[in-house]
């Protein structure tokens, strides 16, 4: 059995699956249920400063995007940080941590962008026995209008400043949660590192409108005839999250900075992908909100089975394993030439590859009157669209042309050596071979 | 209740009253909206889709399914009706398992096709339930056309002609329009008087005058119609029933299956229909299955279908045969009736085993008897009452192209005409195409197109 225990910025947990700071971690009752179900840790729903708590809307606070059969692909929310009194949350955090000492207990925080506010709350959290704090610089709705959440996360200088305040005022590890609602995730990550962050966690939710009610002419979720943008999460945001995690992992300035991967983790495979791209653990919300806390059991069992199959002894052995293979476009091998191949035995003759190629690509698939589909090598640029739209797995595959073969499309011999854009003759800035 | 399935002879009310409603309920209940969404989502939206090719009316199936998927069942219905105005009935009675659903690539991929028939029913039912008739008539052409026979072919022809701006007189020998939809299909396939409702919905287009009780060769003559109208379409169906050519065939408890089914369809109270304790149905087609299954559902104790050739030659689809078997009907193949045994009360049918030889079907010499107090003949129908001076080929009105008979100005389609299978959907296609040809001929569009 692979060892799933993880140590992330010094915080131990029996597995790398944490519940993200979100509605499921707002109360003692929920968190106890989560730990009973097997979650390795939680990031407690964001606490605000002492005093009268914030209020939430009393109409719907979630919007949804469905796939087939009402499968939840994405949820957005307009819920704010915890609307329960600070002292109640602190008391509950302490009680739960006392009863589950082996689980990770991280507390998410969001207070005004003033040093005094952070100075005030950090000792209160420390007193609960929590393992660490996560700075919520991510929420794109509501709190950002008040100068918090993503309003901080969108300004690297603020990130660095607040992170530094926190590091100066607590012994606990500080994780900085980043918003994806920026143009280049590396800048906020560098700022967090500069401020002394122990780790970054990402992504927070994506600013979004999930749908429009066409009768009321109003965005959903609709509150008395009005709607607002909310934070989008779930399987739909995973590709953006993976890229941002990878960008931070391979950026020379932030390489080695621990990353907690968040964004649409629904199965063990999603988790493995985040780990491979450099995450040290993952945080989950939408999958739990959709299916309940029990989903962690599939995630943990699946990850463990896969690690056994592949011979990875620990989560650490997986973490970052794919990072060296994430590169810039300019370094991709242009001498790697492939052609699509259609397996006639598994083809079900739907013709989707033909329609896609003929209408939107390179006219590289021929269709016979009896619906036999074949690739025209002289036209195929190996774009992969036929494979993407084929409903049958492995019916269409890409076959590499051997070095020395002639590519029927270009008439050129396939070179054996690597050749990329940096040295390509069409590149005005190509590096000239030493003369 | 005095009778039971074991009551000897031919008797009504073999079942408790409530059993009839249950037995004759919708054989395949309609999809609800969510089921339709899930089923629609399985469609791959194939390029040049095989299901369209397999549909005799060439409905754009992937398009209508996508319209269901995007929450527009009424739009989906319009896509269906554009090609097949009786899309509602076809959704119920088409042997989809040998047409669109057999061609579905998911049938090839996983043996489970997209449920096209049920999706079609969902779409067409949704639109019809709203009482919408989505077609308007073109400006009047001033032409008048006689459509003889208000079955599927005649209805499709009449509707398309009316849509093109012609005035149509639609005539039928029976009391009601609908043809086999009204009189010839098992009740559980078309519950709640759907056939009648569909005709009324179709006639909403206007410009179609329905005259019932008008039979060619009795109230009507082709010459008179030709003199009065600009064109004539014959959708006569097959009114005659083939004979068994067996000894004792004239016994009063040997009936035509089509008459039995028609009587059942028109009965208000099914418990009044008398049925035998031991019923034998002779034939291998859809009519044989419909008669046998309904006999069973009326409370017959033993029902047997006997077909003279092998099972693979039965024209009833595997799906239909399985349905019959699931209702407890026994199917015996490779046996032909020799004689009907019995006096006033029928006792049995004697059959001879057969074998296929080079000279055709031959009795093996071995015979057996099946106990029977009622026998239904379902060995095919034939053309009856066709006008003279029109060329007949293989027992049907000879047509070329879109239903042109050898007589100028006279078109024909549906079961009475050559070409195509004897299916509702084929009849609709033929009626529709004949209407377009009549329209083109009367308005000169054909000449233009040919030039």
Domain boundary among A288, A306, A325: A325
Residues A339, A227: one domain? no
Cβ–Cβ gap B109/A351 under 8 Å: no
Chain B residue nearest residue A350, CA to CA: B46
Residues A175, A302: one domain? yes
With a pLDDT cut of 90, the percent of chain A lying above it is: 94
Cα separation, A396 vs A388, in Å, equals 9
Provide the residue range defining the domain that includes A85: 6-325
- Cβ distance A233 to A65 under 8 Å? no
Domain boundary among A271, A291, A325: A325
CB nearest A354 (choices: B34, B47, B50): B47
Q: What is the mean pLDDT of chain A?
A: 96
Residues A290, A404: one domain? no
Supply the pLDDT for residue B451: 41
Supply the pLDDT for residue B57: 98
A24-67 residue pLDDT tens:
999 999 999 999 999 999 999 999 999 999 999 999 999 999 99
- Please state the length of chain A: 435
Supply the pLDDT for residue B450: 43
Model ipTM value: 0.86
| Total number of domains constituting chain A | 2
Q: What H or E segment, with its residue span, contains residue B129?
A: helix B116-129
Pairing of β B208-212 and β B144-148:
unpaired
pLDDT at B446 over 80: no
C-alpha A59 chain-centroid distance:
29
Is residue A218 annotated as a catalytic residue, yes or no? no
Considering the candidates A139, A233, A285, A380, report the single residue annotated as catalytic.
A139
CB contacts of B108 in chain A (<8 Å) are 348-349
- Give all domains of chain B, ordered by start, each with its CATH number: 10-21+241-381 (3.50.50.60), 33-129 (1.10.1060.10), 144-239+383-450 (3.50.50.60)
Indicate the burial class of B81 (C-beta count within 10 angstroms; 0-12, 13-18, 19 or more). Answer: buried
**A406 occurs within a structural domain:** yes
State the nearest Cα–Cα gap between A216 and chain B, in angstroms.
17
CATH number at residue A334: 3.30.70.20
State the nearest Cα–Cα gap between B41 and chain A, in angstroms.
6
Residues A310, A357: one domain? no
CB nearest B105 (choices: A68, A70, A349): A349
Supply the pLDDT for residue A142: 85
**A430 occurs within a structural domain:** no
Q: Compute the radius of gyration of chain A from its Cα atoms.
A: 25
pLDDT at A138 over 90: no
Residues A292, A336: one domain? no
Domain boundary among A325, A353, A380: A325
Chain B residue nearest residue A71, CA to CA: B38
A187-215 residue pLDDT tens:
999 999 999 999 999 999 999 999 999 99
Cα separation, A107 vs A45, in Å, equals 7
B375-428 residue pLDDT tens:
999 999 999 988 888 999 999 999 999 999 999 999 999 999 999 999 999 999
Supply the pLDDT for residue B444: 86
Residues A164, A49: one domain? yes
Residues A400, A256: one domain? no
**A231 occurs within a structural domain:** yes
Cα separation, A189 vs A195, in Å, equals 10
With a pLDDT cut of 70, the percent of chain A lying above it is: 99
**A242 occurs within a structural domain:** yes
A6-18 residue pLDDT tens:
999 999 999 999 9
- Please state the length of chain B: 451
pLDDT at B31 over 50: yes
Residues A283, A337: one domain? no
Cα separation, A99 vs A92, in Å, equals 11
Residue A367 in contact with partner chain B when CB distance is under 8 A = yes
pLDDT band at A432 (very low <50, low <70, confident <90, very high): low
pLDDT band at B449 (very low <50, low <70, confident <90, very high): very low
* Mean pLDDT of all residues in A385-413: 98
Q: What is the mean pLDDT of chain B?
A: 95
Ranges of beta strands (E only) in B174-227 are 208-212
Residues A397, A341: one domain? yes
Cα separation, B156 vs A86, in Å, equals 74
Cα separation, B19 vs A356, in Å, equals 54
Strand order in the sheet with B374-377: B254-256, B374-377, B278-282, B302-307, B330-333
**A434 occurs within a structural domain:** no
Supply the pLDDT for residue A431: 65
Which of A350, A367, A371, A386 is most worth mutating to test chain B (most B CB atoms within 10 A of its CB)?
A350
Residues A375, A252: one domain? no
**A371 occurs within a structural domain:** yes
List the alpha helices (DSSP H) in A39-130: 86-99, 115-127
Q: For chain B, which residues lie within 8 Å of any Cβ of chain A, measuring from their own Cβ?
A: 34, 37-38, 41, 44-50, 105-106, 108-109
pLDDT band at B208 (very low <50, low <70, confident <90, very high): very high
**A245 occurs within a structural domain:** yes
Supply the pLDDT for residue A118: 97
Residues A275, A392: one domain? no
**A120 occurs within a structural domain:** yes
Q: What residue has token string 């009706």? A: B81
CATH number at residue A113: 3.20.20.70
Residues A59, A120: one domain? yes
């Amino acid at each position: 059995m692979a060892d799933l225990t993880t140590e992330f910025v010094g915080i131990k947990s029996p597995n790398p699956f944490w519940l993200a700071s979100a509605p499921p971690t707002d109360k003692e009752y929920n968190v106890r249920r989560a730990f009973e179900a097997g979650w390795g840790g939680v990031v407690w729903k964001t606490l605000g400063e002492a005093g009268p708590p914030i209020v939430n809307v009393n109409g719907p606070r979630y919007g949804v995007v469905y796939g087939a059969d009402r499968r939840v692909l994405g949820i957005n929310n307009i819920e704010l940080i915890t609307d329960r009194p600070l002292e109640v949350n602190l008391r509950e955090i302490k009680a739960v941590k006392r009863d589950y000492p082996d689980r990770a207990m991280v507390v998410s925080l969001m207070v005004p962008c003033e040093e005094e506010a952070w100075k005030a709350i950090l000792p209160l959290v420390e007193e609960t026995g929590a393992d660490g704090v996560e700075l919520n610089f991510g929420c794109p709705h509501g709190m950002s209008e008040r100068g918090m959440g993503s309003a901080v996360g969108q300004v690297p200088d603020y990130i660095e400043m607040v992170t530094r305040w926190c590091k100066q005022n607590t012994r606990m590890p500080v994780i900085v949660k980043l918003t994806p609602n920026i143009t280049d995730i590396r800048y906020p990550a560098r700022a967090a590192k500069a401020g002394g962050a122990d780790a970054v966690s990402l992504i927070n939710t994506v600013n979004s409108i999930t749908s429009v009610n066409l009768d009321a002419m109003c965005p959903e979720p609709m509150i008395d005839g009005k709607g607002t943008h909310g934070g989008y999460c779930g399987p739909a945001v995973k590709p953006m999250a993976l890229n941002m995690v990878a960008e931070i992992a391979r950026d020379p300035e932030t390489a080695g900075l621990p990353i907690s991967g968040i964004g649409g983790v629904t199965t063990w495979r999603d988790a493995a992908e985040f780990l491979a791209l450099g995450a040290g653990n993952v945080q989950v919300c939408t999958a739990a909100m959709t299916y309940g806390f029990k989903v962690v059991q599939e995630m943990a069992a699946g990850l463990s089975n896969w690690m056994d199959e592949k011979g990875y002894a620990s989560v650490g052995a997986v973490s970052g394993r794919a990072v060296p293979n994430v590169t810039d476009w300019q370094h991709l091998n242009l001498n790697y030439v492939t052609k699509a191949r259609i397996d006639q035995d598994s083809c079900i003759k739907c013709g989707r590859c033909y329609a896609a190629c003929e209408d939107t690509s390179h006219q590289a698939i021929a269709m016979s009157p009896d619906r036999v589909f074949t690739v025209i090598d002289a036209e195929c640029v190996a774009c992969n669209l036929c494979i993407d739209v084929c409903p049958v797995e492995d019916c269409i595959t890409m076959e590499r042309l051997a070095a020395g073969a002639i590519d029927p499309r270009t008439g050129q011999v396939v070179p054996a050596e690597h050749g990329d854009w940096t040295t390509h003759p069409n590149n005005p800035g190509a590096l000239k071979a030493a003369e | 209740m005095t009778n039971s399935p074991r009551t000897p002879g031919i008797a009504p009310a073999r079942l408790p009253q409530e059993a009839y409603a249950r037995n004759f309920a919708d054989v395949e209940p309609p999809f609800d909206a969510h089921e339709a969404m899930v089923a629609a989502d399985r469609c791959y939206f194939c390029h040049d889709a095989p299901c369209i090719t397999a549909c005799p009316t060439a409905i754009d199936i992937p398009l209508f399914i996508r319209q269901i998927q995007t929450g527009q069942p009424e739009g989906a219905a319009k896509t269906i009706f554009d090609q097949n105005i009786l899309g509602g009935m076809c959704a119920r009675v088409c042997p989809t398992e040998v047409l669109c659903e057999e061609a579905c690539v998911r049938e090839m991929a996983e043996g489970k096709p997209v449920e096209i028939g049920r999706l079609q029913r969902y779409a067409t039912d949704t639109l019809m339930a709203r009482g919408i008739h989505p077609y308007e008539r073109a400006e009047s052409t001033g032409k008048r056309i006689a459509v003889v026979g208000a079955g599927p072919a005649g209805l499709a022809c009449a509707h398309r002609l009316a849509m093109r701006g012609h005035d149509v007189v639609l005539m039928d020998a029976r009391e009601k329009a609908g043809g086999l939809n009204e009189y010839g299909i098992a009740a559980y396939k078309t519950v709640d008087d759907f056939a009648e409702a569909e005709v009324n919905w179709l006639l909403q287009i206007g410009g179609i005058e329905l005259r019932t009780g008008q039979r060619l060769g009795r109230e009507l003559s082709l010459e008179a119609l030709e003199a009065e109208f600009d064109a004539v379409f014959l959708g006569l169906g097959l009114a005659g029933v083939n004979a068994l050519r067996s000894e004792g065939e004239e016994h009063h408890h040997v009936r035509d299956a089509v008459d039995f089914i028609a009587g059942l369809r028109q009965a208000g109270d099914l418990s009044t229909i008398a049925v035998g304790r031991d019923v034998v149905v002779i034939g291998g087609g859809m009519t044989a299955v419909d008669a046998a299954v309904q006999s069973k559902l009326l409370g017959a104790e033993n029902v047997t279908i006997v077909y003279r050739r092998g099972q693979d030659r039965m024209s009833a689809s595997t799906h239909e045969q399985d349905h019959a078997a699931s209702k407890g009907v026994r199917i015996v193949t490779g046996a032909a009736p020799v004689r009907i045994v019995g006096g006033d009360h029928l006792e049995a049918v004697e059959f001879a085993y057969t074998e296929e030889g080079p000279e055709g079907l031959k009795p093996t010499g071995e015979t057996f008897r099946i106990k029977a107090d009622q026998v239904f003949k379902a060995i095919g129908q034939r053309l009856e009452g066709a006008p003279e001076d029109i060329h007949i080929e293989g027992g049907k009105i000879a047509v070329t192209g879109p239903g042109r008979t050898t007589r100028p100005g006279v078109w024909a389609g549906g079961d009475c005409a050559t070409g195509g299978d004897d299916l509702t959907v084929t009849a609709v296609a033929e009626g529709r195409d004949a209407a377009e040809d009549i329209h083109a001929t009367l308005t000169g569009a054909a000449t233009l197109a040919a030039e």
